[in-house]
């Protein structure tokens, strides 16, 4: 098993278990842990032009916290796609989200069926960014909007990257979006610490419960090493969390 399996599969299943044990109010914040903050999710949601009932594809949806928050806050209908079985189960069972096992590069969805899409913290975990963007272009309706959270690297990294991650530069990301048929409408650097304290406390409580249950497991240590590396690179400014809203060509 790779460190990414530990982080995105095993810990997803453990997060489900702990969020369930701690009860209401814990699942959404815990399910967003691997992603943007509440402020980043709002920033994207405000710009995706989604009406109630719209269908939004979440590519690489993880445990499902962001899609569950969006469904509740904006009354949209998310369809989630995620390659890790533990995360797919968590998304279905914690939030009842329609979630299919699949990869961003082969979305199991028909052409032009999504009113909007987002892909949060996923492009950095895959080599084939062009394939993932091409699939998002295929499933979106013409003019549909795409929200991205991408960790970009515009200079050298002064500490080790999490295993399996490949960070684009901001210029590469712009080029990849243009080549896939997207026009960038807006971009901003995210503040990943803008969560309300109840939200942060709930996410921390779930993490502490996972550690209490599984802290002796080597897979927990490997997953912690992965997120620790990410934290170091973000803290030093070697990586920047970029939010982008782009529009699919007509």
Min separation Cβ 62 and ligand SAM, Å = 3
Q: Quick one: CA torsion of 195, 154, 228, 44, rounded to 10 degrees? A: 30
Q: What is the DSSP letter of 72?
A: H
Q: Do residues 45 and 73 make contact, with C-beta atoms less than 8 angstroms apart?
A: yes
Q: Do residues 70 and 34 make contact, with C-beta atoms less than 8 angstroms apart?
A: no
Residue 84 within binding range of ligand SAM, rule CB under 6 A: yes
Q: What is the DSSP letter of 205?
A: H
Name which position in 15, 44, 62, 68 contacts ligand SAM (CB under 6 A): 62
Name which position in 103, 141, 178, 205 contacts ligand SAM (CB under 6 A): 103
Question: Nearest-CA neighbor of 176 among 150, 155, 197, 196?
Answer: 150
Q: Which is nearer to ligand SAM, 54 or 68 (CB)?
A: 68
Name which position in 65, 78, 144, 147 contacts ligand SAM (CB under 6 A): 65
Binding to ligand SAM by CB under 6 A, coded x per residue (else -) over 111-140, reads ---------xxx--xx--------------
Q: Which is nearer to ligand SAM, 35 or 176 (CB)?
A: 35
Min separation Cβ 83 and ligand SAM, Å = 5
- Tokens representing 185 are 């409408």
Q: Do residues 146 and 247 make contact, with C-beta atoms less than 8 angstroms apart?
A: yes
List residues near ligand SAM by CB under 6 A: 8, 32, 34-35, 59-62, 65-66, 82-84, 87, 103-105, 120-122, 125-126
């Amino acid at each position: 098993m790779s460190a990414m399996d530990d982080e995105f599969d095993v810990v997803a299943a453990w997060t489900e278990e702990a969020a369930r044990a701690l009860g209401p109010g814990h699942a959404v914040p815990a399910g967003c842990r691997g992603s943007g903050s509440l402020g980043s999710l709002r920033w994207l949601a405000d710009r995706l032009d989604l009406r109630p009932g719209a269908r939004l594809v979440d590519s690489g949806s993880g445990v499902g916290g962001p899609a569950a928050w969006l469904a509740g806050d904006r009354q949209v209908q998310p369809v989630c796609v995620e390659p890790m079985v533990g995360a797919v189960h968590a998304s279905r069972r914690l939030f009842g989200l329609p979630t299919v096992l699949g990869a961003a590069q082969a979305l199991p969805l028909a052409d032009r069926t999504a009113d909007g899409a987002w892909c949060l913290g996923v492009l950095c975990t895959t080599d084939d960014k062009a394939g993932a963007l091409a699939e998002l272009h295929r499933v979106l309706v013409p003019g549909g909007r795409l929200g991205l959270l991408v960790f970009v690297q515009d200079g050298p990294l002064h500490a080790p990257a999490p295993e399996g991650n490949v960070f684009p530069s901001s210029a590469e990301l712009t080029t990849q979006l243009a080549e896939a048929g997207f026009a960038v409408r807006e971009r901003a650097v995210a503040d990943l610490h803008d969560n309300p304290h109840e939200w942060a406390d709930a996410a921390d409580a779930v993490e502490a419960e996972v550690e209490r249950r599984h802290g002796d497991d080597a897979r927990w240590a490997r997953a912690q090493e992965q997120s620790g590396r990410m934290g170091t690179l973000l803290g030093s400014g070697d990586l920047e969390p970029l939010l982008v809203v782009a529009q699919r060509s007509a």
